[in-house]
Amino acid sequence: MATPARRVLKSVFGFSSFRPHQEEIVSAILSGRDLFAALPTGGGKSLCYQLPSLLLEQLTVVISPLIALMEDQVDAARQMGVPAAYLNSSLDAESAREVYRGIRSGDIRLLYVSPERLAVTTFRESLKEWGVSLFAVDEAHCISEWGHEFRPEYRNLTVLRREFPGIPVAAFTATATPRVQEDVVAALGLRDPLAIRGNFDRPEIFYRVRRKDRVLDQIREFVRGHPDEPGIIYRGTRKAVEETAAALQRGGISAVPYHAGLSDALRRTNQRAFVRDDVLVVVATIAFGMGIDKSNVRWVVHGDLPRSIEAYYQETGRAGRDGEHADTCLFYSPADIARIRYHIDRMEVAAEREQAEHNLRDVLRFVESGACRRTQLLRHFGQDHDGSCPRCDVCAGEIVLTDRTVDAQKVMSAIMRTGERFGGHYIAQIVTGVGDERVEKFGHHRLPTFGVGADHGKRWWLGLIADLEAAGLIGRRDGERSGLELKPAGSDVLFGRARFETRDRSAEEGDAAESRPRRGRGAVDGSERVASREAVRRGGAKERGVPAPGDGEAPVWRDDQESLFQCLRAVRRTLAREAGVPPYMVFSDRTLKTLVRNRPDSTAALLRVHGVGERKAERYGEAVLAAIREFLSSGECPG
């Protein structure tokens, strides 16, 4: 027999099964337990508190950082029949009074508020009067000073445990390292929380990195390769945002800028146009994105080096939230590095400067190495990957790789022989044979590895050391015995049980390539498997009918299916315009594609489609069924 939670899952949300960890989280909330949940973007965090709000006796309060975000989430919840509302500064007095009336009567079960409103004593007194079953803290990484989007106002949330000691608190985030997780749990005073760290792998996303070469032309070419597909372009400065948007507009591409230098009204207008598919492209600084719940973003471009791996992961994660395949590309140049270092050098607080340097080193390791992009991203969040993904430029064979097994063995031998307690610069000094007082003090000039790499310069070896670290063969050990150490996979390479390939560095310092480069996967297991470029999504490759993540490659998408898909997109736009909501809130792209494949002919059949609950079937079902019938009978789209 289905549980109450599973019945609500199907009848309201239109899903036949929970995503990973959702059912465990929902059960914990319903039992009154605190929890911390780090789930990837698109992992279904909002359902984890929206569904319980329909089963709990009293109000569920969601703390959200941005007005646009809470408004979008309330609109989406209402489309499914969830009685939700928000209280923020955008409401006029009468609208706010209507919300208060709905809360008192019990008609509103899910309330979104900002951390600033929660800091108001009178509002907290009202919450005590109404009765609260759950506090859900969205974007919880904003609480931590170690997070990439720290917001001081989020520290106000420490009041929850003090003034509402018996009410469970659930913290949710899409991006949190273990260190950030510890900080959030401590700051919120979570008591014996259920801690969930989902799989941060986003298999639907293709990761690609390219050097800049006339970047505006490169971006324009990428966008033209994704016709009729919504996407986001991130640039590092307001000037670059304006230049990029103007260049796309001159090329006939509908694009709008978004940055802090624009008026609030214009930012809202541009964001609204993008969310509602009135324009396809938004070009933005990092000021854009957290408030976007748009599920059908098909690609993300970084026109400049991101400020951290966490920021890059979250920004690229705004693509493919519906589980359909998505494309990303990061363009960078030495000028980007110089610009970031310029700002770092001017930071007055030493701890902030040190953290920024650490973030930059991580980003440079990511873009410069020949290791699987996915492996590096997941390792940042404390997860492992075997390095054989078919959906990054390294594994897809787009990057020139060279066998550097012998060079890797030289480095790792030096690390081992020096006791695994020295950093990269010292190890590079050993292999290049550069002696000094410190080297002689330890007697390392007498090691067999001293000078074995004199054929390359120190910079070349530092690059290789970064590649070894990116591939997970060596790592940095903290504490009294800090320094580089070998990992188990590194031992396999050191002792000849596996090979090591990395990005070709033959052009650096004028070094000549001593081994034949090939295009292939930067694996450490010696495998010769190379994913065909035809088997992966590339810029410009149209791909429809994509299966759920992990299901492999998409089935062939026939011309008639593409025509029906475009017809249903047009119907969705009309329905969304009439309802006053973005198209993706009516039905996701994934739902449209399921409609195309299944072609339901009745309400009962429609309700079996992923993402179609009872409220949406009631509101939009007849229009969708009529469109499918008309298309099948005449080959034409109604209207």
| Claim to verify: residue 89 and residue 229 sit in the same structural domain | no
Predicted confidence (pLDDT) at residue 567 exceeds the cutoff of 60: yes
Q: Give SS3 for 197.
A: strand
pLDDT for the residue numbered 550: 34
**b/e 5-14 (16+ beta carbons within 10 angstroms → b):** bbebbbebbb
Q: Kindly report, residue by residue over 153-167, the tens digit of the pLDDT.
A: 888 899 999 999 999
Q: Determine, yes or no, domain membership for 366.
A: no
From the list 65, 76, 62, the residue with the least C-alpha distance to 127 is 62
Q: Kindly report, residue by residue over 226-278, the tens digit of the pLDDT.
A: 999 999 999 999 999 999 999 999 999 999 999 989 998 999 899 999 999 99
Distance CA 295, CA 284 (A): 18
Q: Determine, yes or no, domain membership for 532.
A: no
Q: Determine, yes or no, domain membership for 541.
A: no
The total of structural domains in the chain comes to 4
> What's the half-sphere exposure (Cβ side, CA atoms, 13 Å) at 300?
30
| Claim to verify: residue 39 and residue 173 sit in the same structural domain | yes
pLDDT for the residue numbered 557: 72
Percentage of the chain with pLDDT > 90? 67
Distance CA 475, CA 255 (A): 43
Q: Which of 337, 355, 375 is the last residue of a domain?
A: 337
Q: Determine, yes or no, domain membership for 382.
A: no
Q: Kindly report, residue by residue over 595-617, the tens digit of the pLDDT.
A: 999 999 999 999 999 999 999 99
Q: Do residues 236 and 285 make contact, with C-beta atoms less than 8 angstroms apart?
A: yes
pLDDT for the residue numbered 290: 55
| Claim to verify: residue 185 and residue 239 sit in the same structural domain | no
Which of the 8 DSSP states describes residue 12? Answer: I
Q: Determine, yes or no, domain membership for 611.
A: yes
Number of H helices and E strands in the chain, helices first, is 26, 19
Q: Which of 337, 354, 376 is the last residue of a domain?
A: 337
Q: pLDDT band at 509, cuts 50/70/90?
A: very low
Q: Which of 494, 519, 544 is the last residue of a domain?
A: 519
| Claim to verify: residue 31 and residue 151 sit in the same structural domain | yes
| Claim to verify: residue 216 and residue 169 sit in the same structural domain | no
pLDDT for the residue numbered 187: 92
Distance CA 287, CA 266 (A): 14
Strand order in the sheet with 501-503: 501-503, 400-403, 518-519
pLDDT for the residue numbered 543: 33
Return the C-alpha torsion angle 39, 45, 51, 56, nearest 10.
80
Instruction: Name the burial class of residue 216, with classes exposed (0-12), middle (13-18) and buried (19+) by CB atoms within 10 angstroms of its CB.
Output: middle
Q: Kindly report, residue by residue over 399-440, the tens digit of the pLDDT.
A: 888 899 999 999 999 999 999 999 999 999 999 999 999 999
C-alpha distance from residue 528 to each of 391, 404, 522, 523 (Å): 17, 15, 10, 9
Higher pLDDT, 525 or 293: 293
Distance CA 160, CA 142 (A): 16
In what helix (H) or strand (E) does residue 301 lie, and over which residues does it extend?
A: strand 299-302
Q: Kindly report, residue by residue over 454-465, the tens digit of the pLDDT.
A: 999 998 999 899
Q: Do residues 284 and 234 make contact, with C-beta atoms less than 8 angstroms apart?
A: yes
Predicted confidence (pLDDT) at residue 118 exceeds the cutoff of 70: yes
3-state secondary structure 226-240: CCCCCEEEECCCHHH
| Claim to verify: residue 257 and residue 153 sit in the same structural domain | no
Q: Kindly report, residue by residue over 65-87, the tens digit of the pLDDT.
A: 878 788 889 999 999 999 999 99
| Claim to verify: residue 150 and residue 16 sit in the same structural domain | yes
| Claim to verify: residue 234 and residue 189 sit in the same structural domain | no
pLDDT for the residue numbered 179: 86
Q: CA 68 from chain center: how many Å?
A: 19
pTM above 0.95, yes or no: no
Q: Give SS3 for 327.
A: strand
Distance CA 13, CA 480 (A): 53
Distance CA 103, CA 618 (A): 26
Q: Do residues 124 and 115 make contact, with C-beta atoms less than 8 angstroms apart?
A: no
Reported for 527-530, long-range contacts at CB under 8 A and 24+ positions apart, including other chains, are 527/388, 529/388, 530/397
Q: Determine, yes or no, domain membership for 106.
A: yes
Q: Determine, yes or no, domain membership for 10.
A: yes
CATH at residue 324 = 3.40.50.300
Q: Do residues 236 and 304 make contact, with C-beta atoms less than 8 angstroms apart?
A: yes
Q: Give SS3 for 172.
A: strand
Q: Which residues contact 52 (CB under 8 A, 6 or more apart)?
A: 5, 26, 29, 30, 60, 134
Which residue type, as a one-letter code, is found at position 388?
Answer: S
Domain membership of residue 260 as a residue range:
205-337
Average pLDDT taken over every residue of the chain? 87
| Claim to verify: residue 436 and residue 564 sit in the same structural domain | no
| Claim to verify: residue 192 and residue 209 sit in the same structural domain | no
- Say which residue the tokens 């050098």 belong to: 345
Q: Determine, yes or no, domain membership for 9.
A: yes
CATH at residue 593 = 1.10.150.80
Predicted confidence (pLDDT) at residue 479 exceeds the cutoff of 60: no
| Claim to verify: residue 171 and residue 217 sit in the same structural domain | no
Q: Do residues 366 and 376 make contact, with C-beta atoms less than 8 angstroms apart?
A: yes
Distance CA 137, CA 134 (A): 10
> Nearest-5° angle of CA 617, CA 620, CA 621?
50
User: Which of the residue ranges 129-133, 449-453, 545-549 would you say has the lowest mean pLDDT?
Assistant: 545-549
Distance CA 617, CA 464 (A): 57
| Claim to verify: residue 278 and residue 322 sit in the same structural domain | yes
